[in-house]
């Protein structure tokens, strides 16, 4: 028997549990090896106008390597953080994660991809997605990332 817990949707709870386990296996101690770079993400809503803002930490990532696309209630952020080339380097310690990354964020509401805005400043990507009442046309739309100067 499935019952509602604290007013939460059981499907949403299931998705959160799946994401938690997926995150767990990204931790080197549990997986037995590193899986590359996985940037941290914050999402929040603001009102009037109603906008969903997604903030992604991308230190050391070249802005031109970042790709952002939005589809049916899903935002995809992808790119690559590369290790700087230093001739003759011999590492004593390696903790900085590098490599290709992709974050998929499920959106709780419909957004207007045509009105989306993405900026990249000081290693932080900020994506603003206007929330709409009606779902947009199907398909995936790429959002151009602007570099703040």
DSSP string computed for 112-136: -GGG-EEEEETTEEEEEEEB-SSPP
Same domain for 49 and 95, yes or no, is: yes
Residue 55 and residue 15 in one domain = no
- When pLDDT is averaged across residues 39-59 and rounded to a whole number, the result is 94
Instruction: Kindly report, residue by residue over 1-29, the tens digit of the pLDDT.
Output: 444 445 556 777 777 787 777 766 655 54
Residue 133 binned pLDDT confidence (cut-offs 50, 70, 90): confident
Mean pLDDT of 80-100: 88
The CATH code of the domain that includes 85 is 2.60.40.790
Domains: count for the chain: 2
pLDDT tens, residue by residue, 56-89: 999 999 999 999 999 888 999 999 999 888 898 8
Kindly report the pTM of this predicted structure.
0.70
- Domain span at residue 15? 1-35
Whether residues 112 and 51 share a domain: the answer is yes
Q: How far apart are CA 7 and CA 47, in angstroms?
A: 23
Same domain, 97 and 138: yes
DSSP summary character for residue 111: B
Same domain, 97 and 137: yes
Measured distance CA(20)–CA(25) in Å, rounded = 9
């Amino acid at each position: 028997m499935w019952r509602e817990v604290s007013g939460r949707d059981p499907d949403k709870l299931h998705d959160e549990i799946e994401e938690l386990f997926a995150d767990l296996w990204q931790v080197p101690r549990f997986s037995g090896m590193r899986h590359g770079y996985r940037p941290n993400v914050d999402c929040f809503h603001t009102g009037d106008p109603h906008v969903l803002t997604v903030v992604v930490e991308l230190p050391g990532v070249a802005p031109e390597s970042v790709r952002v696309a939005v589809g049916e209630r899903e935002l995809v952020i992808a790119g690559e953080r590369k290790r700087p080339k230093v001739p003759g380097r011999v590492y004593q310690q390696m903790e900085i994660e590098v490599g290709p990354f992709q974050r998929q964020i499920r959106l709780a509401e419909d957004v207007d991809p045509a009105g989306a805005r993405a900026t990249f400043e000081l290693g932080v990507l900020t994506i603003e997605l206007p929330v709409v009442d009606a779902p947009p046309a199907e398909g995936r739309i790429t959002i151009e990332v602007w570099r703040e100067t």
